[in-house]
A and B are shown apart, each in its own frame.
Chain A
């Protein structure tokens, strides 16, 4: 067991709390850097998807997990980022510039969507974002001058500062690099006053307001940042798939993002990454399973939604903190080795809290 003796306030907000973390994270970084050489191309390609989905989930996590504002239309921001990137790329903008611009466009859209958040909350906000998601989907389909409408849009192969990103390996490093930037950015944000304000808003809006937090400003900021991060992922998504069509950014895509969050564990950065990895791996496993299942089951189109439904319900009922919660339990078990108790993470009994005044 490790005991941390804190002698300075700075120790509370350090990125790495102790040497052990530095060691393990460095090891992880090395493993991830070496992975593309050791793994077959197919799995490298899947990893690229994991990194991209991890960026999206981080964006959504910032909004749902840390600011407590539910969005059921996040695919719209992904679409914004992806189509902006695709369009600017076709105009010949350099990637560094068009990436920033995609994030900006998505972020500004985020501010617009965040505006209803100033007046409505809870489910009403969720439904506002749902409505917005549908409107963007329809707009993307109709604006076929820019987006190609239902026939889709082709995105060319990528070049970063003169270096062509023509192999899975290079795409892997690019996505990993951007993911690392986003993770560091979100971590830094969360230990800054802005991040603390987000968390305060999540825990109680009225208490936050009483402490002098400007709800309007911080909610809009949360929406803008979340959308911008999602926009970055959208830009990468465009280059990864090289083909964009409105069917990729539907309501179901938004729901998938929510599932990733819940499965990973709402309210933690690990959760976003675990969730994304889990999501991609499960999809691959389903594809693999189809080959050796009897065709009567394996060829069913309903197999995937059924499995997703079961996973989602099972996680909410049995592991509400998601994969991150499971990881926390396993880690604590080993840290405390003989002293782990069963009821350690048991939740307190909670009662229904009414949101009504009456």
Chain B
């Protein structure tokens, strides 16, 4: 039983990462109806920028964390302005392909940084190798969680709270909600739709960077860490593609299922568990847990 709880706990931590990446997809999808395949690579970029700010520039970790988020916010906005905005009104397949291109470019460019890009790096975090015990004392007493996992869960919760407040109480958040519901109507009401879209891309990139920084102490920073992003698609679909809490719940489900199947099922199931779950979900309930109606206009 304890073992089961232990697995669920680490599954939840991993699921938070999936959830954060999925959150990026969902934000972008809600605002612009485009699906970004670059989210995982933005996460990787975030990891590397975090590395640059902590190791090269020597900033304290939490300041570097904030600096990375701000840099990635700008990167996301720049991407929207330079690449995505000219494609406004194109079919979603085009946008998907362009984000795949961005992903390739990001991965290629990072790999080309001399002496750096091809290596695997350790992000020095202040909470490394610490352990948190929950419940009983002693060797076999309570639940043991590594500090890395606890920080992942805590920061995710914090981030969700911030986003919730942003969408609920700030003018800009409400403008984003309006834009995602009906762009034209929002435009007529005087909301600067383009700037809002730009900001959404920025926030999505920052959230991805946050996921990257949180994942870094667990899996290290390397150019291919962005492929984790592919498992965030199932997370987003399970939650329902247009739902922000859904993304997190989907992520958690994927994380836990993956952990459990890695332990209880034969070897190999861990890697495809997420995809099996999403296929079942698509057959049973294509709109996802919190999804809206899928019907399409003619």
Which residues of A line the B interface, CB within 8 A? 64, 70, 115-116, 119-124, 126-128, 130-132, 134-135, 138, 141-142, 204-207, 251, 255, 258-259, 262, 266, 296-297, 300-313, 316-317, 320, 349-358
Contact = CB atoms under 8 A, between A and B. Distances in A.
Contact of A134 (B29, B109, B241, B272): B272
Contacts of A258: 97, 100
Interface in B234-251: 234, 237, 241
Interface of B: 29, 32-33, 35, 83, 86-90, 92-94, 96-98, 100-112, 114, 117-118, 181-183, 223, 227, 230, 233-234, 237, 241, 268, 271-272, 274-276, 278-279, 282-283, 286, 292-298
A251 B117 CA distance: 22
B297 A354 contact: yes
Given A135-B275, A302-B118, A310-B105, 12 more contacts: A115-B283, A124-B241, A131-B234, A135-B276, A306-B108, A306-B112, A308-B108, A309-B106, A313-B101, A320-B90, A349-B89, A350-B89
A127 B278 contact: yes
A100 B109 CA distance: 43
B237 A309 contact: no
A255 B282 contact: no
Given A124-B282, A352-B89, A358-B182, A205 B296 contact: yes
A251 B94 CA distance: 18
A128 B279 contact: yes
Given A123-B35, A305-B111, A130 B282 contact: no
Contacts of A135: 272, 275-276, 279
Contacts of A305: 104-105, 107-108, 111
22 contacts: A116-B282, A116-B283, A122-B92, A123-B35, A128-B279, A131-B276, A131-B278, A134-B272, A135-B272, A205-B296, A206-B298, A302-B110, A302-B112, A304-B108, A308-B104, A309-B101, A309-B104, A312-B98, A316-B97, A350-B90, A356-B292, A358-B182
B286 A119 contact: yes
Contacts of B108: 302-309
